[in-house]
Structure 1
């Protein structure tokens, strides 16, 4: 039986719920709801659940360790369920993509993302797949100054951003299901060309 692990990255706590850095949590909640997958248990410092897509078992996890320690939780699930890196999909925010852009990447470095850096460290590989959710970079004023990145990612979506994020969620759900049913390369070909 093939198992897949779908990970949403974010920070626990009500104060972080609608912040840009919690895009992965929000996306995973939406996908689970759309697919009828449960996400209501707690184990190994994560909120977790499971479901099925055809004959494939799907495991879901939202690490509750805070972003920069996400790998601790994910590694426990990966090791216990013996999940191959190419069967792991991580949903996370990305500063270098325009807001609302969705991109599937088969492997690669952390790109400055502390959650991905932790996963690479604890999984010992960069071969897991990522669903990157563009949040853009902080806007700059005429003097070229903008909000510091760490403050930007931990600040709440604007109303317009949240509306656009919600509008993109069906594409995120489609991407997750394509990844599981058809594989990363097919998913990339179908999803990455679509612009917000």
Structure 2
């Protein structure tokens, strides 16, 4: 069983913002594999289903970004998920739009949602897919809570589709194979 967590902020005003790319990812996986997120628990919304032969739990924390670790910890503890069976998807300002990067461990890199997950789990060793949203030339908060331009949104949709393939690869073949195959991806 895999726990797939997309980070974002709850509420209509955050819908499809740069910081909610993790929620967009979960929405795409949910639609592709017909997994409905119709349950409320773990301080978030979740659904269970299958991606190929892999049983998965899709989770959108409902705690707002900076407290995402509380939701993740509750789900991990309930399902007794090992760290290598949990995959976190989130935005990264240090990666250009049109790219994403897979990692199996690492610091929060200034991302408060990841920082809170590391704090709540007591480790930075867990797979993650970091989706590039580009580096801002304006105030960071305004940038990450802003929406993509029309052209950038088109590119992000392509990146999301490819990052779902990367998720499938992680689950089927392991993170090292996925890193080798996808970390050079660029639109």
The answer to whether the superposition gives a TM-score over 0.5 is: yes
The residue aligned with 1:46 is 44
- Is the 8 Å Cα contact of residues 44 and 73 (structure 1) preserved in structure 2? yes
Structure-1 separation of matches of 2:158 and 2:171: 22
Residue 147 (structure 2) aligns with: 156
Q: Distance in 2 between matches of 1:46 and 1:183?
A: 27
**Deviation, structure 1 residue 58:** 0.5
Give the SS at the match of 2:96.
coil
Aligned residues: 187
Q: Alignment partner for residue 177 of structure 1, among 168, 172, 175?
A: 168
Rg comparison, structure with higher value = 1
Shift of 1:94: 0.2
| C-alpha contact (below 8 Å) 1:71/1:119 kept by paired residues | yes
Matching residue of 2:129: 131
Give the aligned partner of residue 9 of structure 1: 7
The answer to whether structure 1 residue 110 and structure 2 residue 101 are counterparts is: no
TM-score, structure 2 length as denominator? 0.96
Matches within 5 A, 1:39-78: 39-78=37-76
8 A contact 1:65–1:73 mirrored in 2: yes
Which stretch shifts more, 3-12 or 178-187? 178-187
Q: How many Å separate the matches in 2 of 1:154 and 1:101?
A: 19
Contact 1:31 1:172 in 2 (8 A): no
Which runs of structure 2 are paired with 1:14-53 in the superposition (5 Å)? 14-53=12-51
SS, match of residue 28 in structure 1: helix
What is the CA-CA distance between 1:161 and the residue it aligns to? 1.1
Query: Shift of residue 171 of structure 1?
Result: 0.3
**Long gaps (5+) in structure 1:** 140-146
Matched-pair contact (CA < 8 Å) for 1:89–1:129: yes
Aligned alpha-carbon RMSD (Å): 1.1
8 Å CA contact 1:34, 1:173 repeated in 2: no
Name the SS of the counterpart of 2:76 in structure 1. helix
Structure 2: 5+ residue runs without aligned partners? none
Stretches of 4+ aligned residues off by more than 4 angstroms = none
